[in-house]
């Protein structure tokens, strides 16, 4: 089979790495890919959002299966476009991807299906949103309705912050159309948990649990990022919680989609907050998580191509996903300054030395190869994953590997999976 993986992050390197292990695979293209995917597949310089070029490429090169990494091409309708040409592609249609691309659509569906989530109000008029700030109890969470590169969620601790955020989103259009409508919701407290499911329209299969670390600095301080690290399994996730999650969240969600005549086929990843009153849905993602994928796939024993194909064909119910019972810890190495301004083009050393450690995989994110050297090319640069019998052991190995990698300005969190390792 010929595969095309779309995207250029650590998630896409992990997907390419895992797909490459399948006996069914002869060749993988990655568009646009990074230095890491370039070592195990063929990078094609087409941006992930250039849908016409991607379609043309898949057609001309007789790609048997396309796997979409990021949310943007899904929200733009890449699956519908490929489908119209009978090109096989893994991911939800544009309509189904609204679960992620419209927080209001997701919120309304949750409300209709009584899925536990934060209490929320939605606004399409900035004056109404501003006057709501006169009566609401702070802090609140303000969210742009659409996709905003993970930056469209702001915690406002008082009226001043809320007013500035509403104006920035709705009046000044800082997130373009994504912020024309907003959600204002209660701030939930607890630890987060990421669940991934392969959904085939009717049935689904859950992955092992994972947790990511969204804040930039140790102790969950600083701004939200795309994710600074992850580990699996999540230490706060029990079999009882999983049963509750399936009964109160997954099944009602699938029932709700059916009522809306939406067929969801692809990876669905609800992000949960484990509150004192039980799990609450923070968001739905319609794609693999980043960096959760880098922590999850090294634990997966099943063939990923088989699972993706079964999902597309509506046959995931006939498959069980097998997992290694070990733990995994992923530490993200970022450019200094990320998620704000940062420099690129820094030489990365120690990659081979880190990768030599037992049970360690170095996944590339913002990297590129220039004259045989690997240089930084983005905010999140690498994701170093280590497996171990316990979270503690995986964690020690991951940081040992991280200590072998160097580039100017490198920033990483020292406390990834720390509480789980001690707990």
Judged by the rule CB under 6 A, the positions of this chain that interact with ligand GLY are 212, 227, 285, 289-290, 292
Q: Does residue 214 touch ligand AMP according to CB under 6 A?
A: yes
CA distances to 11, 146, 223, 269, 316 from 177, rounded to whole Å, are 27, 7, 23, 24, 36
Cβ burial 144-164 (10 Å sphere, 16+ → b, else e): bbbbbeebbbbebeeeebbee
Q: How far is the CB of 184 from ligand AMP (least distance, A)?
A: 10
262 and 210 in contact (C-beta within 8 Å)? no
**Which residue has the closest beta carbon to ligand GLY?**
289
SS3 state of residue 112: helix
| Residue 137: partners with Cβ closer than 8 Å, 6 or more residues away | none
> Taking contact as CB under 6 A, which single stretch among the options 57-65, 186-194, 255-263, 410-418 is the one that binds ligand AMP?
186-194
Nearer to ligand AMP, 164 or 187 (CB): 187
Question: Which of ligand GLY, ligand AMP, none does residue 292 bind to, with CB < 5 to 8 Å depending on kind?
Answer: ligand GLY
Q: Does residue 143 touch ligand AMP according to CB under 6 A?
A: yes
The residue whose two tokens read 């670390």 is: 213
Q: How far is the CB of 117 from ligand AMP (least distance, A)?
A: 8
Q: Give the angle subtended at the CA of 149 by the CAs of 146 and 155, to the nearest 5°.
A: 75
How many CA atoms lie less than 13 Å away from 11 in the CB half-sphere?
19
* Radius of gyration for the chain, computed over Cα atoms and rounded to the nearest angstrom: 21
Q: How far is the CB of 342 from ligand AMP (least distance, A)?
A: 21
Q: Does residue 108 touch ligand AMP according to CB under 6 A?
A: no
Q: Does residue 248 touch ligand AMP according to CB under 6 A?
A: no
Element at 89 (helix H, strand E): strand 89-90
Q: Does residue 188 touch ligand AMP according to CB under 6 A?
A: yes
Nearer to ligand AMP, 184 or 199 (CB): 184
Nearer to ligand AMP, 185 or 309 (CB): 185
Q: Does residue 118 touch ligand AMP according to CB under 6 A?
A: yes
Q: Does residue 181 touch ligand AMP according to CB under 6 A?
A: no
Q: How far is the CB of 244 from ligand GLY (least distance, A)?
A: 22
The residue whose two tokens read 């049970």 is: 359
231 and 211 in contact (C-beta within 8 Å)? yes
Q: Does residue 271 touch ligand AMP according to CB under 6 A?
A: yes
Question: Which of ligand GLY, ligand AMP, none does residue 227 bind to, with CB < 5 to 8 Å depending on kind?
Answer: ligand GLY
Q: Does residue 208 touch ligand AMP according to CB under 6 A?
A: no
Q: Does residue 282 touch ligand AMP according to CB under 6 A?
A: yes
| Residue 223: partners with Cβ closer than 8 Å, 6 or more residues away | 215, 216, 339, 340
Chain residues binding ligand AMP by CB under 6 A are 118, 141, 143, 153, 185, 187-188, 192, 214, 224, 271, 282-283
């Amino acid at each position: 089979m010929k595969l095309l993986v779309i995207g250029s992050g650590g998630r896409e390197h992990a997907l390419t790495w895992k797909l490459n292990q399948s006996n069914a695979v002869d060749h993988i293209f990655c568009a646009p890919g990074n230095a890491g995917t370039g070592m195990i597949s063929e990078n094609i310089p087409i941006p992930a959002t250039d849908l016409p070029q991607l379609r043309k490429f898949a057609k001309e090169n007789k790609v048997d299966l396309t796997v979409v990494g990021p949310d943007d091409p899904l929200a733009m309708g890449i699956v519908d476009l490929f489908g119209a040409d009978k090109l096989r592609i893994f991911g939800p249609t544009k309509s189904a991807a609204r679960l992620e691309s419209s927080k209001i659509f997701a919120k309304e569906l949750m409300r209709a299906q009584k899925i536990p989530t934060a209490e929320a109000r939605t606004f399409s008029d900035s004056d109404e949103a501003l006057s709501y700030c006169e009566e609401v109890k702070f802090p609140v969470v303000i969210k742009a309705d659409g996709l905003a590169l993970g930056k469209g969620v702001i915690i406002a601790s008082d009226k001043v912050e809320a007013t500035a955020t509403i104006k920035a989103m709705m009046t000044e259009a800082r997130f373009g159309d994504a912020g024309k409508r907003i959600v204002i919701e209660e701030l939930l407290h607890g630890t987060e948990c990421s669940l991934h499911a392969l959904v085939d329209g009717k049935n689904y299969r859950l992955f092992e649990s994972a947790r990511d670390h969204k804040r930039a600095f140790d102790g969950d301080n600083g701004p939200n990022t795309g994710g600074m690290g992850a580990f699996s399994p999540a230490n706060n996730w029990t079999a009882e919680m999983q049963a509750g999650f399936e009964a109160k969240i997954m099944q009602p969600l699938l029932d709700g989609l059916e009522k809306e005549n939406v067929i969801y086929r692809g990876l669905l990843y609800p992000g949960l907050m484990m509150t004192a009153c039980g799990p609450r849905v923070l968001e739905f993602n319609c794609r693999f998580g980043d960096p959760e994928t880098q922590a999850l796939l090294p634990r997966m024993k099943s063939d990923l191509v088989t699972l993706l194909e079964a999902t597309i064909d509506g046959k995931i119910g006939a498959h069980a996903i097998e997992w290694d019972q070990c733990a995994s810890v992923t530490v993200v190495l970022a450019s200094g300054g990320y998620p704000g301004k940062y420099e690129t083009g820094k030489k990365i050393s120690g990659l081979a030395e880190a990768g030599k450690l037992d049970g360690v995989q170095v996944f590339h994110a913002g990297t590129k190869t220039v004259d045989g050297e690997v240089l930084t090319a983005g905010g999140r640069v690498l994701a170093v994953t280590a497996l171990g019998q316990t979270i503690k052991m995986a964690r020690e190995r991951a940081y040992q590997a991280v200590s072998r990698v160097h580039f100017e300005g490198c920033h990483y969190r020292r406390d990834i999976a720390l509480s789980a390792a001690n707990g």
